[in-house]
Chains A and B, each alone.
Chain A
């Protein structure tokens, strides 16, 4: 149990286009989902925290108009990278926190999405 999926697993896009990444909790409800960015050989950087039905909370230095987050249901959050540029190329990882159950407060991580902007 507690499986989180991401789609797509990798995407290549042209500079200036927008890319949407989906994060789904497959077998549990997640009131909170987190979006991280990971540069090569570096740690995870928390970008934002999204709560179902409300606006996401962005970390300092993360542009909310560039990285649009929507958490429309208890099993789905999306991250849209708008007007992508090569510097947005990175590995994006989501995690989900269970709303109930014995592992409440635990974060379960998705497999990540590799974004390459040409």
Chain B
């Protein structure tokens, strides 16, 4: 089955700086990669996703890149703000499978 690894497990950045979280996956058949943000005690919230037919996707301060050859994808947050502090999870799946395999999460702390 699919295995997703996520790094780093914790990340602290100064407000205004950029944050990068990286994930690798094992199943070359995976073709859908969402990112979720989870604040303490709250639901995982889908913030951005990417399909394998594109290499990059951007939504305001958030971007995701995908390298299918190397089987890794990354989340980039620019101009970080205190409200970006949360745990971020990457996940992978393939169409027809649907069950998401999650990484272990990255606790992002924005230092004011």
Binding partners A and B: no
